[in-house]
Amino acid sequence: MTQADLTTPDAPYLDVADPTFSIRSAEVMAARDASWYARTPYGLAALRYDDVQKLLRHPKLRQGSYRWPAHSGVTGGIFAQWWESMLLSQEGDTHARLRRMANPAFSPKLITDLRPKFQALANRLIDQFAAKGECDFIADFTEPYATGVICDLLGLPFEKWRELADIAGEMGLALGVTFKQDLPIVEAATARLLAYAEELVAARRAEPSDDFIGTLVKANADKSQLSDQELLDMIVLAIFGGIDTTRNQIGLAMAMFIEHPEQWALLADQPDLAKAAVEEVMRVRPTVTWVTREATEDFTYNDLPIAAGTTVHLFSQAACSDPAVFANPDFDITADRKPHFGFGGGAHHCLGHFIARGDMTEALKLLAQRLRNPRFNGTVEWLPDSGNTGAISMPIAFDPS
Amino acid sequence: MKVDVDMSICLLHGQCVIAAPAVFSFDDAGGLVWLSDVDEGLRGDVEAAADACPEQAIVIG
Ligand code: HEM
């Protein structure tokens, strides 16, 4: 069966490869109302809540970006090697083993200890611009905050944040369309992060601890369960996967609240709503707007034959405004909602979600109390609306304090 | 040790099946099944599963 036979011609077509394509467009909403799936240049896209939820954990689908380096024409090298061996690219027994080994380092208990540090970090950053009444919310808050959280997690001093953000940013060029040209930079950055991880591990081996790295080092005591290389790969994944996502998601939160000032005022009055606010932002404005899956064998879903090798994008964003599930989908941090898919789901559900939920909750709580009446103060620069989205710069103004 | 899962919030991610395969599994229809009375020797695994559950749906009695 070829790719073309897979879909009936009357299913909507979405050109997700077009740089102007928006996953938030009326076109996508109309497609979702007409059909549970759309055809795309890559394969299929699931559009509705129930289907996204079922397909996230479908046994015939695997995580779909494991061949990204090869697809970009990059074979060999330490980035490709890391990408292909790390948790997200693994399935079945190997994935389960790595995840079991990593779980204790990401447990909710460990995160509880970090909350006061997250608060101190947020306050320290807000202190630098609160009196001015304006800032670039990305450069001055979300980027140092997201990276500072990872510093806290790794036990590094905050002063390291710029260096870490730069290396992670250079490694992140691997996800762009110019990956092949940027390969030398990506390789150098990957080598530096691995060396960083090695230093952190050496320090904990010399002086055992119960923190994040210390807990991973303990898991590495049985090398058949977590080898030395797998330990380093996991630390690099936490750095790589934790910074841009958090930076983008907090920026998206601010954009939502600027567009809904009454919700911001409500959050300032009722800080306990911060936890729910994080969930509501991730429902309507997730940074990870879709996740990618690939069929491991031929199967049929909703009467649609899907051939082995087919790419299936699960449109988390479109699914979470599905009128079949969200009768009133408007942004409302007090509404009782079904869960969103901003952290994915199934076997690959975000391992860092307790950390991300904890740090974003603390950040929003303090921001709402300290930055009153935030508004845009110039042009916001955005990444494309699909895939992993967010603002690159966001000048804002607020009442000085 | 008693083990229960709040199926009103469980989303069937299967993280418990990964963390404690001797206690939690999926049946052929994809439903979650678990042992409700578990040997104390498996407490570590069950606690790891409860911690790993993204929805925090596992109740240890
Ligand atoms: C707001 C912030 C974050 C968002 C929106 C986010 C989102 C996601 C999503 C959607 C996935 C699943 C990808 C897929 O199924 O293809 C994922 C996986 C993952 N995330 Fe996050 N993430 C965030 C923060 C973090 C942080 C802070 C860390 C670590 C410190 C982290 C570590 C991971 C890891 C290790 C995986 C792979 C899990 C696996 O394959 O089993 N994430 N994340």
Contacting residues for B36 by C-beta, under 8 A, at least 6 apart: B2, B3, B4
Is the predicted pLDDT of residue A7 greater than 70, yes or no?
no
Q: What is the pLDDT of residue A2?
A: 43
Q: What is the pLDDT of residue A260?
A: 98
Please name the residue of chain B whose CA is at the shortest distance from the CA of residue A357: B54
Give B5 to chain A, closest Cα distance, Å. 17
Point out the residue among A96, A103, A345 whose CB comes nearest to the CB of B13.
A345
A19 confidence band (pLDDT: 50, 70, 90):
confident
3-state secondary structure (DSSP) of residue A395: strand
Helices (H), A132-273: 143-154, 161-172, 179-206, 212-219, 228-259, 261-269
Model pLDDT for residues A20-56, shown as the tens digit of each residue: 899 999 999 999 999 999 999 999 999 999 999 999 9
Give A178 to chain B, closest Cα distance, Å. 34
- Tell the burial category of A109 from Cβ atoms under 10 Å away from its Cβ (0-12, 13-18, 19+): exposed
Q: Name the residue of A350, A351, A353, A383 to mutate for ligand 1: max ligand atoms within 8 A of Cβ.
A: A350
The Å distance, Cα A373 to ligand 1 centre, comes to: 32
Is the predicted pLDDT of residue A4 greater than 80, yes or no?
no
A177 confidence band (pLDDT: 50, 70, 90):
confident
A5 confidence band (pLDDT: 50, 70, 90):
very low
Distances (CA, A) of A241 to A80, A97, A168: 16, 19, 9
- Give the burial string for A223-252 (b: 16+ CB within 10 Å, else e): eeebeeebbbbbbbbbbbbbbbbbbbbbbb
Q: What is the pLDDT of residue A386?
A: 82
Ordered by where they begin, the domains of chain A are 3-400 (1.10.630.10)
Does residue A238 line the site of ligand 1, with CB under 6 A? yes
- Between CA A321 and CA A330 the distance in angstroms is 9
Q: Which of A54, A66, A53 is nearest to A95 (CA)?
A: A66
- Give the burial string for A321-357 (b: 16+ CB within 10 Å, else e): bbeeebeeeebebeeebebbbbbbbbbbbbbbbbbbb
Interface touch A347/B14, C-beta < 8 Å: yes
Does residue A352 line the site of ligand 1, with CB under 6 A? yes
Please report, rounded to a whole number, the percentage of residues in chain A having pLDDT higher than 70. 98
Q: What is the pLDDT of residue A222?
A: 95
Interface touch A108/B56, C-beta < 8 Å: yes
Is the predicted pLDDT of residue A284 greater than 60, yes or no?
yes
The Å distance, Cα A89 to ligand 1 centre, comes to: 12
Point out the residue among A103, A346, A347 whose CB comes nearest to the CB of B51.
A103
- Residue with the smallest CA separation from ligand 1 atom 11 is A350
User: Do strands A311-314 and A43-46 pair parallel, antiparallel, or not at all (unpaired)?
Assistant: parallel
- Between CA A153 and CA A139 the distance in angstroms is 21
Point out the residue among A59, A104, A349 whose CB comes nearest to the CB of B54.
A349
Q: Could you give phi then psi for residue A341, rounded to 5 degrees? A: -115, 25
How remote is the C-alpha of A95 from its chain's centroid?
Answer: 19
The answer to whether A145 and A363 are in contact (CB under 8 A) is: yes
Mean pLDDT in residue range A105-112 = 92
- Give the burial string for A73-83 (b: 16+ CB within 10 Å, else e): ebeebebbebb
Point out the residue among B11, B18, B30 whose CB comes nearest to the CB of A345.
B11
The Å distance, Cα B58 to ligand 1 centre, comes to: 22
Residue ranges of chain B with pLDDT lower than 50?
none
Helices (H) and strands (E) in chain A, counts: 16, 12
Mean residue pLDDT of chain A comes to 95
- Residue with the smallest CA separation from ligand 1 atom 12 is A344
Model pLDDT for residues A129-172, shown as the tens digit of each residue: 999 999 999 999 999 999 999 999 999 999 999 999 999 999 99
Model pLDDT for residues A296-353, shown as the tens digit of each residue: 999 999 999 999 999 999 999 999 999 999 999 999 999 999 999 999 999 999 999 9
The answer to whether A80 and A347 are in contact (CB under 8 A) is: no
Is the predicted pLDDT of residue A68 greater than 50, yes or no?
yes
More confidently predicted of B53 and A71: B53
Phi-psi region at A378: left, alpha or beta (left = phi > 0; alpha = psi -120 to 50): left
- Residue with the smallest CA separation from ligand 1 atom 24 is A242
- Residue with the smallest CA separation from ligand 1 atom 16 is A291
What torsion do the CA atoms of A104, A355, A198, A85 make, to the nearest 10 degrees?
Answer: 80
Ordered by where they begin, the domains of chain B are 3-60 (3.30.70.20)
More confidently predicted of A114 and A19: A114
Q: What is the pLDDT of residue A385?
A: 86
Residues from chain B that touch A350, judged by Cβ atoms under 8 A, are: 54
Mean pLDDT in residue range A254-278 = 98
Q: What is the pLDDT of residue A9?
A: 63
Give B53 to chain A, closest Cα distance, Å. 10
